[in-house]
């Protein structure tokens, strides 16, 4: 197996593609960390609050790991990524652009969005790019609990009667539509390159199918009918932002997420 120890050893196209992918995963994890943190309060039971607090910590830890790789191997500045990018440059899953309105939306984010990132990471377990391969297992070990939380709450809400069940269905389908856009179109050139160079083992289309299968199995076991077939349109899709059109993360969320408002207290 080819082993690539540094970003400089990647060819230019592959380096650009991997930088985009890692940035997009880090951006989504940053937003997940924010939302889990926000939902440390207001959950249906106290245990879920504590779990969300832990989930938030692990997501932010993963952001730190990924930013370290982006700094060391892709000449990226974590400070810029966190503090000074315009919202339009961020590549998070669109479902996380706004405040999550209810607990069903948090469950959908955990099950679908977090689940999609875990599949993306899993596809790099045997990556030819060693700096990523070396940290993936640690992240996946922690993500196991995120998956338990998403699945456990899906089952719990599915069994709570018509109103929670229909809200859950709506939120999960919305999260999935958002994730379908984030995966990108079938055969997308950057993704195809990462697979052919051994950086990833499976294409995003294959990962998307896997996610749909996993959701279908869970939903069927809980008696929930989900609309899982993708209808995403990809005209004008940009691999840097992993979306089309001008949508971007809410400015107020960015303000709360960033430390720039506390610049005068920064210890340098």
Partner 1 sequence: MIYEVFARKDHHQELKHVGSVDAADDELAKVYAWALYDEESWVEMCVVPRSAIIPVTEHGRVPVWGN
230: exposed, middle or buried (Cβ count in 10 Å: 0-12, 13-18, 19+):
middle
Q: How far is the CB of 47 from partner 1 (least distance, A)?
A: 4
**Cβ pair 203, 192 in contact under 8 A:** yes
Q: How far is the CB of 147 from partner 1 (least distance, A)?
A: 9
**Separation between Cα atoms, residue 35 and residue 240, nearest integer Å:** 23
- Compare residues 51 and 82 and give the one whose CB is closer to partner 1: 51
- Compare residues 1 and 45 and give the one whose CB is closer to partner 1: 45
Q: How far is the CB of 101 from partner 1 (least distance, A)?
A: 22
**Separation between Cα atoms, residue 96 and residue 28, nearest integer Å:** 8
DSSP string over 27-69: HHHHHHHHHHHHTTSS-SSHHHHHHHHHHHHHHHHHHHHHHHH
- Compare residues 122 and 149 and give the one whose CB is closer to partner 1: 149
- Compare residues 55 and 66 and give the one whose CB is closer to partner 1: 55
Q: How far is the CB of 138 from partner 1 (least distance, A)?
A: 13
Binding footprint of partner 1 on the chain (CB under 8 A): 45, 47-48, 50-51, 53-55, 145, 148-149, 151-153, 155-156
Q: Give the phi and the psi of residue 4 in degrees, each rounded to 5.
A: -115, 120
Q: At what angle do helices 130-158 and 162-183 cross, to 10 degrees?
A: 160
- Compare residues 107 and 128 and give the one whose CB is closer to partner 1: 107
Q: How far is the CB of 133 from partner 1 (least distance, A)?
A: 24
């Amino acid at each position: 197996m080819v082993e690539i120890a540094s970003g400089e050893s990647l060819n230019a196209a592959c380096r650009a593609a991997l930088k985009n992918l890692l940035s997009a995963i880090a951006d989504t994890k940053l937003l997940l960390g924010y939302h889990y943190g926000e939902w440390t309060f207001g959950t249906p039971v106290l245990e879920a609050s504590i779990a969300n607090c832990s989930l938030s910590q692990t997501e932010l830890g993963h952001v730190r790991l990924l930013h370290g790789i982006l700094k060391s191997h892709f000449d990226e500045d974590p400070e810029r990524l966190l503090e000074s990018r315009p919202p339009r440059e961020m590549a998070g899953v669109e479902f996380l652009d706004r405040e999550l309105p209810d607990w069903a939306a948090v469950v959908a984010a955990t099950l679908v969005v977090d689940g999609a990132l875990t599949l993306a990471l899993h596809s790099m377990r045997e990556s030819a790019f060693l700096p990523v391969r070396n940290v993936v297992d640690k992240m996946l070990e922690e993500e196991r609990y995120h998956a338990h939380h998403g699945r456990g709450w899906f089952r719990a809400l599915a069994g709570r009667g018509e109103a929670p069940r229909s809200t859950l269905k709506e939120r999960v389908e919305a999260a999935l539509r958002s994730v379908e856009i984030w995966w990108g179109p079938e055969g997308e050139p950057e993704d195809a390159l990462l697979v052919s160079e051994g950086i990833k083992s499976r294409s995003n289309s294959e990962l998307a199918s896997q996610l749909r299968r996993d959701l279908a199995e869970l939903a069927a076991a809980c008696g929930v009918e989900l609309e899982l077939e993708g209808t995403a349109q990809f005209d004008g899709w940009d691999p840097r932002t992993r979306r089309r059109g001008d949508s971007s993360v809410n400015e107020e969320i960015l303000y709360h997420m960033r430390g720039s408002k506390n610049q005068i207290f920064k210890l340098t």
